[in-house]
Amino acid sequence: MLSHSVFSQDLDKKITLIVHKQSLGAVIQKIGDEGKIFFSYNPQSLPLDMKISVKARNKTVREILDLVLKKNRIDYFVLENQVVLKMNQKDQTDKFREQVPSAMKHTISGYLKDKASGEVLIGANIYIRDTHLGTTTNAYGFYSLTLPANSYQMVFSYIGYKDFLMKINLEKDEEATIEMETSSLAIKEVVIQSKNKQEETRNSSLGEFQFSSKTLSQIPGFAGDLDIIKSLQAVPGIKSYGDGSSLFYVRGGNSDQNLILIDEAPIYNPSHLFGFFSVLAPDAINEMTVYKGDFPSKYGGRLSSVIDIKARNGNLKRFGFSGNIGPYASEITLEGPIIKDKSSFIVSGRMSTLNWLNDLNTSLKSFDILFYDVNAKVNFKLNTNNRFYLTFFYGYDHFGQTNESSYPTSGMSWNNMAGTFRWNHTFSNKLFSNTTICYSRYQYYLYIDNEQKDVWNSAISGLTFKTDFTWYLNPKNTIHEGVEITDHNSNPGNVSLPDNQTDPAAYPIAKYHSMEYDFYLGNDMSIGKRITIGYGIRLPVWQDLGPTTVYHFDGYHNLIDSSRVSNLSTYSSFISPEPRINFRYMLNDRSSLKASYNRTTQFLQVLSSSVSPFTSLEVWAPCGPNIKPQKSDQVSLGYYSQVFRTKLNFSAEIFYNIFHDHIDYKDHANLLFNHLLEGEIRDGKARSYGIELILRKTENNFTGWIGYTYSRTFVQTPEVNNGKEYPAFYDRPHNVCIYLSYTAGKHWAFSANWLYMTGGAITTPVGFFYNNGYSIPIYGDRNNDRLPDYHRLDLSVKWTLSKPEQRYQHALILTLYNAYGRLNPFSVNFNKIQDGNGNIVVPSNLDGEYQLIPTTISVAGMIPSLNYQFKF
């Protein structure tokens, strides 16, 4: 059985057609036979009897169709393996020109939603056939297009959904909310032909990686549960710390330089214990966009990346529940309408069940681990112009050690809390606004004595009011503007002792209070068919306020003076304009070039002299008289293309980044209990550069990508390392990520993930000297050595027990994290040795010789997990 499949590439097949005065109907038949193409048309509407002559030798089918059909005003486009022919209704030339005079303009606007649940589709593409005009839905699923009065064919498309074609006669302003249907299991991308093929390449942005909940659900998660932060490891250019933490570094920036937003609220620590789980239950996520290159002007405050996560709103049509039960953690989500099609809610909760691991623990000390998170959201559509959303999020972690008598000895805990209230208002069909009030707080506790009453804690919180306007001026210009005001508070680390005990060593360290005012204005403009420019400027203003004590240091970082600042008076302020520009040029239907320049400023940073998480104490401190705001200038260039005659996408990006006023610390810096911690900071500069290559296949049963990144980061701090350049800890030159997924029929899915990273740069002793029976390390250059390379393989198999048409869906997922059990080191320690009994002790004799051995700690060997996932 010969089966034809027509993709736009097949229209590139070369045929010869020579006919003399034959009917159009017969010619179409001939083209179909020669080119092995099926045509679909209404024979009554086409002038099939018209006699035409064609002389085309070895031309592509596409060219012949253009020749034969265009001059007879017949349109063609590819849909589902057919080439559909239709008469072109109005008398218009095929190149749409806006210079059609005296044409009244009208606007079509509305929302794009998932048909089954009513969830909005974010970042979906909308374009008008036969033109280069189009737009995308915003973060709330809203779109708006203003066009001259005419009739158009609009195409709505979004990955994982069937393309929706709509014919409209735009005689007046129209409102069209479209409900899109998901496409079948094997995601078939419908290719809408020729002139608009460029839409696919146009809308995939440089430095922007969009994950819809459908893409996310295909990545093998940890413990059978997909993990949004872990899934970032699979994105080239994003390097994770490794096991034991979900810290990540983007394009040469430090781990505190990533802005993670959940429904517009910043989250300061996105991971649960040991970094294996992230704070948001995966079922609650609608979409996640990762920006690592060109940030739109509405984002700021961090230098390296923006991870913008939009949570799901909850099914507007019917109740449902879903969940995942596993050996380490379980979650459940409930959602449903409050008033059908107008209001809905979604509640997710997750809790860990890790204490059973104690049974496997052979040492006398046992531990107590718990984490849980709750995410609740309610939304209400008052009318077509007003929608309200209320989100609440709380996540808690606790890790404690108990001694033989089950007496708690030490431990740490942290929690994240965030609440947002948002109001979408459409002033007109061209002006969309969103106003948000949100509060986010992160607290970190370290229990340093028994009974957990002596506690060191640090905290950071922010209360933000912001409003964002999107003005869909015309199809060539979309203007964004907004204002943001935030009240920041941070406690950089204080000890609280019960019973009014005072310890002179624990000097109370003043808390920070700052106000941030941001203003931004930007425009996404398209010029002609090939060029799109996004340009804008963000203007942040930062003010530090009292009451506090400000310390003044001399050039040698010695304290010379201190001054008291009274309540609410400003003692330091900064203003830092940030121009942003990105530029896209379509080379042809399949490929494009992009370039961008961004300046960003970071006013709040984490001060930490240790690179390993959990042994470092997190101190969030703002800039001020002793800490300058860190700035970054990034330039990037990229090339994106669909590989000829295949379903593969290739992209290559190179970037160069300069960090000004980069923060580092003097050797042996003391940040604990130090009210003069600002004196420990040394600023300098850093630079990073790299190339990120990725090859992707996103269709059919076999999907995946292979990514390779080569990037370097060097720091130069005048008073560190004798002013010589040294690699940053996160300078990990080679980074490979291979992710593959295969769907076999309706019940089985297999995926594999392999990651490789060069080990991080660390400082190891260059020698030891012996004093009083102790072996003391001598350090040379900063970051002179490397941790062993990190690599691991994750495998997962998903067995879907239910049939696709059933309402109750359930599946069993078997995951092997770190399948070949490589003990990737988490930290390397030179201060301890192992004695004859295998105990780790501070240096002492070992068989009569003073022998110091480095000890490495690994977090995880192979971790298997069997999870039961369900959805109703």
Partner 1 sequence: MRIAAIILIIVIPSFFIFRNLTRPEQKQLNATLSIKEGKLPDGTSVTLNKGAILEYPSSFKKNKRNVKLNGEAWFEVRHDDAKPFIVTSHNVRVEVLGTSFYVNTNAANNTMEVILNSGSVAIYFDDHKENSLFLSPGEKAEIIPGQEKMVKDINTDQNYRAWMTQRFIFNNTPLVTIVADLNKVYHANLRIATPVSYCLVTATFDHQSVESILHVLQATLDLTISTHRTWTDISGNKCN
State in angstroms the smallest separation of the CB of 744 from partner 1.
Answer: 19
Q: Nearest to residue 601, comparing CAs of 626, 623, 569, 570?
A: 623
Select 129 or 302, whichever has its Cβ closest to partner 1: 129
Q: 2-21: which residues touch partner 1 (CB under 8 A)?
A: 3-4
708 belongs to the binding site for partner 1 (CB under 8 A): no
41 belongs to the binding site for partner 1 (CB under 8 A): yes
- Helix (H, G, I), strand (E, B), or coil: what is residue 701? coil
**From the list 86, 647, 660, 666, which residue makes contact with partner 1 (rule: CB under 8 A)?**
86
Select 185 or 382, whichever has its Cβ closest to partner 1: 185
**From the list 26, 84, 473, 525, which residue makes contact with partner 1 (rule: CB under 8 A)?**
84
Select 98 or 179, whichever has its Cβ closest to partner 1: 179
* C-alpha Rg value of the chain to the nearest Å: 30
**Torsion 503-504-505-509 (CA) sign:** positive
In angstroms, rounded to a whole number, what is the distance separating the alpha carbons of residues 672 and 674? Answer: 5
Stretch that binds partner 1, among 75-83, 287-295, 422-430, 527-535 (CB under 8 A): 75-83
Stretch that binds partner 1, among 103-111, 119-127, 162-170, 441-449 (CB under 8 A): 162-170
Select 723 or 804, whichever has its Cβ closest to partner 1: 804
Assign 3-class secondary structure to 635-697.
EEEEEEEECCCCCEEEEEEEEEEEEEEEEEECCCCCCCCCCCHHHHEEEEEEEEEEEEEEEEE
Select 189 or 368, whichever has its Cβ closest to partner 1: 189
What does the block give as tokens for 814? 């078997």
Q: Which residues of 629-652 are buried (b: 16+ CB within 10 A; e: fewer)?
A: bbbbbbebbbbbbbeeeebbbebb
184 belongs to the binding site for partner 1 (CB under 8 A): yes
CA atoms within 13 A on the CB side of 287: 19
**From the list 23, 60, 81, 401, which residue makes contact with partner 1 (rule: CB under 8 A)?**
81
In angstroms, rounded to a whole number, what is the distance separating the alpha carbons of residues 384 and 173? Answer: 14
State in angstroms the smallest separation of the CB of 748 from partner 1.
Answer: 20
Question: For the window 562-601, what string marks contact with partner 1 as x by the rule CB under 8 A?
Answer: ----------------------------------------
Select 43 or 836, whichever has its Cβ closest to partner 1: 43
Select 53 or 151, whichever has its Cβ closest to partner 1: 151
Q: Nearest to residue 64, comparing CAs of 42, 35, 88?
A: 35
What does the block give as tokens for 296? 């739109």
**Torsion 141-146-151-152 (CA) sign:** negative
162 belongs to the binding site for partner 1 (CB under 8 A): yes
State in angstroms the smallest separation of the CB of 512 from partner 1.
Answer: 58
Select 189 or 725, whichever has its Cβ closest to partner 1: 189
State in angstroms the smallest separation of the CB of 865 from partner 1.
Answer: 36
842 belongs to the binding site for partner 1 (CB under 8 A): no
701 belongs to the binding site for partner 1 (CB under 8 A): no
**From the list 16, 18, 40, 501, which residue makes contact with partner 1 (rule: CB under 8 A)?**
40
What does the block give as tokens for 170? 């735009």
Instruction: Find the helix or strand (DSSP H, E) in which 26 lies.
Output: helix 24-35
CB–CB of 754/738 below 8 Å?
yes
**From the list 79, 334, 539, 801, which residue makes contact with partner 1 (rule: CB under 8 A)?**
79
State in angstroms the smallest separation of the CB of 134 from partner 1.
Answer: 18
161 belongs to the binding site for partner 1 (CB under 8 A): no
Select 167 or 172, whichever has its Cβ closest to partner 1: 167
CB–CB of 18/61 below 8 Å?
no
- Residue holding tokens 């806006």? 98
Quickly list DSSP for 300-311.
-S-SSEEEEEEE
Helices 61-70 and 24-35 sit at what angle, rounded to 10 degrees? 170
State in angstroms the smallest separation of the CB of 38 from partner 1.
Answer: 4
- Helix (H, G, I), strand (E, B), or coil: what is residue 578? strand
Stretch that binds partner 1, among 159-167, 260-268, 620-628, 725-733 (CB under 8 A): 159-167
Binding site residues, partner 1, CB under 8 A = 1, 3-4, 32, 38-45, 77, 79-82, 84-86, 162, 165, 167, 184
